[in-house]
Structure 1
Amino acid sequence: MTITSGKKKERIDRLSELAARDDERGVSLWQEAFRRLRRNPAAIIGAVILVLFVLVAVVGPFFVPYGPTDAIGIREGVVKSGQGLIPGSSGDHWFGYDHQGRDVFSRMIVGARQTLLVGVVSTLIGLAVGALIGGVAGAAAGLGGRWGRAIDTALMRVIDMMLALPSLLLAVSIAALLGASLTTVMIAVGVVSVPVFARLLRGSMISQANSDYVLAATSLGVKKSKIALTHVVPNSLAPVIVQATLTLATAIIEAAALSFLGLGNPDTAVPEWGVMLADAQPYLGIRPALAVYPAVAIIITALGFTLLGEAMREALDPKLRK
């Protein structure tokens, strides 16, 4: 009996020492989230996909074997316009030629840069505008009194009207009004993501506004505007950053959809995965691989962003931590 009690006491003392060490070291929310991400297989797979995608998009175009607009197949005589004969892959042309005799592998690599550019810029547009609207609405609703609630109501009704329209329909409408161009695609996809960021930041700020540290700061006489800018907003950004990662996946798919519909870059010679999908449609019966390559690239890239975003959301949300 005495031996058993001694072992229990030693175990309790050991656990107490470990807890004391953890308290002394201390970790921030982001450090703890990073620890959880390193142990999450989905996060590792998503991160690997994204690193490879970014490397291909940034560095790849400098090392492509052929120019993305060079009609090599026509010059070599292996592709003839109007004859419906498109050779497949070979040792020199890994993905073969397209209908204009251009090297598909080189166009895929260069097209990755366009896809990354559109996805990142459109997400930043949606994040900036949505965070501005959501931040003003959240500060007004949580700290602004009667007039603040009126401002919040007005802003949220505008967001509700944007949410009432299907996202792709809204993006197509904006792109059609502005005219076909790469900039148009970025703006259209960015506007579509504005309501998501606005709603998310507003809800997070309202939740933070009811916290004890806000009550303490208010009782000490700190101005509400200072509380909102220096405390509430920084503590509300974690879910918004996670949503930005998830929105990147949606932005890539929607940008490809707009380009597929002919609302992207009017110069079809410039490689972009959505444009390559559209160009491949008439040749599905001859060379379906022309559509498979860009489609698989879009799916894998979107999957990488989704896996990493979901893992980040799980790591940062206390309710979902394992």
Structure 2
Amino acid sequence: MTIISGKKREKIDRLAELAAREEERGVSLWQDAFRRLRRNPAAIVGAVILAIFVLVAVVGPFFVPYGPTDTIGIREGVVRVGQGLIPGHSAEHWLGYDHQGRDVFSRMVVGARQTLLVGVVATMIGLAIGALIGGVAGAAAGLGGRWGRWIDTTLMRFIDMLLALPSLLLAVSIAALLGPSLTTVMIAVGMVSVPVFARLLRGSMIVQSNSDYVLAATSLGVRKSKIALAHVLPNSLAPVIVQATLTLATAIIEAAALSFLGLGNPDSATPEWGVMLADAQQWIGIRPALAIYPAVAIIITALGFTLLGEAMREALDPKLRK
């Protein structure tokens, strides 16, 4: 029989008391999700990729060795496109030159900022418009009544019209109407994600409207508009935030696709990974690395957003928790 000393017994009792207090205090949904994310290898990998991407995009352009528009290769006479001569990497130029003699490494670093800007702004446009439509429709459906059902039905039929069009076709149509520019790409990609955010927030708000706390607040005489704005809407935002993380990945890919089709920034002097990929297609027989570098960067960045977004959805959704 094992005999426990007095000091050990006091230590065990103290640890048990702390554990009981922790259990009584409990944790919020986001705290519990963060704990799960820290134990998820996919989330860690995605977070590391995104941290490196954001660091390069924000800080990198201040430390590039050459300007993104500096045609140093032509001045030095080492780039002669007419003769099919575009040298590869060297000690001074880690990724070599492009077809105009510009340093590819410097353009990749500066282009990361433009790519991040396009993805974030496009996602924010889709999130703002989609959350507005979905929030109004969800609140109207939760309020009930003839006017509430009419507002919800009208808004959702508009969203169904957007969903009926393929996303890339819708983005190309908007970009073609507005004309090629970086702003056009942001608007076109943002509008594509509007239906996803709208339907997701509306569905989440309808589910929350059937919760016990809504029934209790209604029984106490709280106005339905206040319940929808102060309680139902905040509790419905978790899946929308997760979707925003996933949408960032698709926004970067779709923006690159529009730039590849010639609907992005017409000025190729402004480095952006999608524009760089489009410019490289005519030189792919001479120097295929010009297309490989931006393509790999786009794939890795989109993978980081996807891994983190899927891990967040698994951590926040009780049905998907392991």
> Could you state the TM-score of these two structures normalised by the residue count of structure 1?
0.94
Shift of 1:282: 1.3
Equivalent position amino acid for 1:152 in 2: D
Q: Does 1:292 align with 2:319?
A: no
Shift of 1:146: 2.0
Q: Aligned partners of 1:134 and 1:80: how far apart in 2?
A: 55
Match of 1:129 in 2: 129
Equivalent position amino acid for 1:113 in 2: R
Mapping 1:181-260, distance limit 5 Å: 181-260=181-260
Q: Does 1:302 align with 2:302?
A: yes
Match of 1:20 in 2: 20
Match of 1:150 in 2: 150
Q: Aligned partners of 2:158 and 2:17: how far apart in 1?
A: 55
Q: Does 1:66 align with 2:66?
A: yes
Q: SS of the residue aligned with 1:82? A: helix
Q: Aligned partners of 2:106 and 2:15: how far apart in 1?
A: 58
Mapping 1:81-92, distance limit 5 Å: 81-92=81-92
Deviations 1:98-141 (A, max 9, x none): 11111000000000000000000010000000000000000111
Shift of 1:18: 7.3
What is the Cα-based RMSD across aligned positions, in Å? 1.4
Shift of 1:81: 3.4
Gaps of 5+ in 1: 1-12
Match of 2:93 in 1: 93
Q: SS of the residue aligned with 2:190? A: helix
Q: SS of the residue aligned with 1:33? A: helix
Match of 2:109 in 1: 109
Q: Aligned partners of 1:40 and 1:154: how far apart in 2?
A: 41
Equivalent position amino acid for 1:191 in 2: M
Shift of 1:266: 1.4
Match of 1:53 in 2: 53
Could you list the structure 1 runs, at least 4 aligned residues long, displaced by more than 6 angstroms after superposition.
13-16
Q: Aligned partners of 2:32 and 2:222: how far apart in 1?
A: 31
Q: Aligned partners of 1:195 and 1:154: how far apart in 2?
A: 14
Equivalent position amino acid for 1:257 in 2: A
Shift of 1:150: 1.2
Shift of 1:19: 6.3
Deviations 1:193-221 (A, max 9, x none): 00000000000000000000000101111
Q: SS of the residue aligned with 1:105? A: helix
Identity %: 89
Match of 2:170 in 1: 170
> Could you state the TM-score of these two structures normalised by the residue count of structure 2?
0.94
Gaps of 5+ in 2: 1-12
Match of 2:40 in 1: 40
